[in-house]
């Protein structure tokens, strides 16, 4: 009996040894902490990371596109129906958006006009930079710049009449216009400062004051032209006279 039990024990040990040989060896982890850390290590998805970076940019592009579409649609309707007869309901109907969506971008119809005002200042800035890059005299620069602006404004009188009446370019009534106006006026000051250095603009007044005089003169002429339906409709003629008046007064 003792021999039989011994033989059965040896057989069991041999079976266990064979089973152990068939198993894959355990990985040589040095510690349970390291093994736990490796198990918990997150798997990063390059595609997911890329999507995470792109989504905010995509949202911003969509918002910018819709904002631009609102302005463009509103301007088309202003041209077609007139500013006063164009309602916000008309704008959202064409775009197939809701009024709350419109109000997320613009608090009112007048706010759309302020976008037009910003574009007007941006156009002034662009034209003044072109004049600064030329070698023309101060008089030639001012004549050419203001005549260009007068022609652009005159080409769309109803729209600019609405802009003027709404105060969309007035930095006092629309404080968000101050930065745009300053960018334009600073370039005008630079042109006049160069004129003083050349000797074709008086030094009797500071450049800051001269720029204020010319800018105020131009704005007054445009405002009067926009609302004066009984007077001469040629803005270019009015602006030309204003520029010549300024140039005579600014001679050294």
User: Is the pLDDT assigned to residue 104 strictly greater than 80?
Assistant: yes
pLDDT, tens only, 42-73: 545 444 444 445 566 888 889 999 999 999 99
Cβ proximity of 158 and 80 under 8 Å: no
Tell me which range, 74-83, 105-114, 134-143, 172-181, is most confidently predicted by mean pLDDT. 134-143
Average pLDDT over every residue of 151-155 = 89
Tell me the C-alpha distance between 100 and 110, whole Å. 16
Query: Interior CA angle at 224 toward 218 and 229, to 5°?
Result: 140
Work out the pLDDT band at 116, boundaries 50, 70, 90: confident
User: Is the pLDDT assigned to residue 36 strictly greater than 80?
Assistant: no
Output Rg (C-alpha) for the chain, integer angstroms: 37
Query: For position 97, what pLDDT does the model report?
Result: 94
Work out the pLDDT band at 115, boundaries 50, 70, 90: confident
Query: For position 164, what pLDDT does the model report?
Result: 81
Whole-number percent of the chain with pLDDT over 70: 76
Query: For position 113, what pLDDT does the model report?
Result: 87
Query: For position 12, what pLDDT does the model report?
Result: 61
Query: Interior CA angle at 153 toward 124 and 71, to 5°?
Result: 80
Work out the pLDDT band at 10, boundaries 50, 70, 90: low
Average pLDDT over all residues of the chain: 82
Q: Is the dihedral of CA 230, 232, 234, 240 positive or negative?
A: negative
Work out the pLDDT band at 90, boundaries 50, 70, 90: very high
Work out the pLDDT band at 240, boundaries 50, 70, 90: very high
Cβ proximity of 138 and 200 under 8 Å: yes
Query: For position 48, what pLDDT does the model report?
Result: 44
Tell me the C-alpha distance between 220 and 239, whole Å. 10
Average pLDDT over every residue of 16-22 = 54
Query: For position 230, what pLDDT does the model report?
Result: 60
């Amino acid at each position: 009996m003792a021999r039989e039990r011994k033989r059965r024990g040896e057989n069991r040990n041999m079976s266990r040894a064979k089973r152990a040989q068939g198993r894959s060896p355990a990985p040589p982890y040095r510690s349970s902490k390291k093994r736990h850390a490796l198990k918990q290590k997150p798997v990063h998805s390059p595609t997911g990371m890329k999507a995470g970076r792109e989504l905010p940019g995509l949202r911003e592009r969509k918002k910018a596109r819709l904002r631009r579409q609102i302005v463009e649609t509103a301007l088309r309707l202003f041209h077609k129906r007139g500013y006063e007869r164009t309602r916000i309901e008309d704008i959202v109907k064409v775009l197939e958006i809701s009024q709350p969506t419109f109000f997320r971008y613009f608090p009112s119809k007048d706010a759309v006009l302020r976008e037009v005002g910003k574009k007007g200042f941006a156009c002034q800035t662009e034209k003044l930079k072109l004049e600064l890059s030329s070698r023309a005299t101060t008089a030639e620069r001012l004549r050419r710049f203001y005549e260009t602006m007068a022609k652009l404004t005159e080409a769309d009188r109803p729209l600019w009449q609405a802009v003027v009446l709404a105060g969309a370019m007035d930095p006092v009534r629309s404080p968000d216009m101050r930065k745009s106006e300053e960018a334009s006026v600073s370039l005008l000051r630079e042109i006049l400062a160069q004129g003083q250095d050349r000797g074709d603009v008086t030094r009797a007044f500071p450049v800051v004051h001269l720029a204020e005089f010319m800018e105020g003169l131009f704005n007054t002429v445009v405002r009067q032209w926009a609302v004066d339906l009984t007077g001469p409709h040629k803005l270019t003629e009015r602006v030309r006279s204003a520029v010549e008046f300024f140039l005579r007064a600014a001679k050294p």
